[in-house]
Structure 1
């Protein structure tokens, strides 16, 4: 039994993980909010989860609980290594982010660490319908944010027209949601003289 104010080792491990994951709130992405503030990865993840919950009735056969778990974890490694904007990503991004994710998971008990890592790997391999849908939602949320954010004058809207197309086109609902977002992206690219 530990003394007053001392946490049991397992409790201390969970708290260490939760404290480390808090860094995702300060991990900034390339997009901006409608008011012009850089968006955090935690905010991106929140809206992804909101999208999945909202679309649940239109996703028959999808395990939305599993989808939410994948969405919550998919960018968690960025709490250590930060976000790399898609146009700047190299070939080792997934390996680097997995290593960061493993560092973040280090305090957790073996079973919890293995369970979370398996979900992260499932997402990155697009190994299940839920993982493929998670990737599509991730790309959709990104291009949606770029259309409503107050981005810098040199923001490359044109890049978004092809970004993640394979993933968003893989599900008819996500493709239908993306069509008007692409139309808005094209409009913004024309306004900026980039199209």
Structure 2
């Protein structure tokens, strides 16, 4: 039985590798579009770096939530927030994609990953609330740091994820700093654009 679990896990990991090629709308500081895997990596790093500021949370759970939050995008890709029109149920699509992606895993591991993803989506625990807020902050940080196209809409970021980033006092504090950076980037792009 252990051999089957190992083979299933390896099959899953091979499929999850797709996240390295799924591109997001954000650009790195060198101007290359970032991948979902890169975003997830820095989201986890952000959670680790800010752990002491987040209060008595289960850090392992927070990291697990961060790791699985965009996992379904390995199948269906990323839909940038500015392109979400409400006609497509992004949550339902990601869940369906995650079910496909995890089919090779043993039932217990599959249920764990699906449960974590559902917890994240519903923001049903303090860790999930933090993961959602940190996700928005990482995106804004990348947009402020990235070498973006001339027509990049910095104003969008000033409203983006406001509900999630105001759910915790520390997230709101980080958001205030990032909003100032966003305003500065917008002003710079107006002068040089």
**TM-score, with normalisation over the residues of structure 1?**
0.93
Secondary structure of the residue aligned to 1:39 is strand
The offset of 1:90, in angstroms, is 3.7
Show the 5 A alignment for 1:122-137: 122-137=119-134
Q: Which residue of 1 aligns with 2:152?
A: 155
The answer to whether residue 78 in structure 2 is matched with residue 60 in structure 1 is no
Q: Which residue of 1 aligns with 2:71?
A: 76
**TM-score, with normalisation over the residues of structure 2?**
0.94
Return the alpha-carbon distance in structure 2 between the equivalents of residues 9 and 89 of structure 1: 39
The offset of 1:89, in angstroms, is 1.6
The offset of 1:111, in angstroms, is 1.1
Pick the aligned partner of 2:26 from 22, 31, 35. 31
- Specify the structure having the higher radius of gyration (Cα): 1
Q: Any unmatched runs of 5+ in structure 1?
A: 2-6
Q: Which residue of 1 aligns with 2:10?
A: 15
Secondary structure of the residue aligned to 1:30 is strand
Aligned residues: 189
Q: Which residue of 2 aligns with 1:97?
A: 94
The offset of 1:120, in angstroms, is 0.3
CA offsets 1:128-154 (integer angstroms, 9 cap, x no match): 110000000000000010000001111
CA RMSD of aligned residues (A): 1.5
Regions of 4+ moved over 4 Å: none
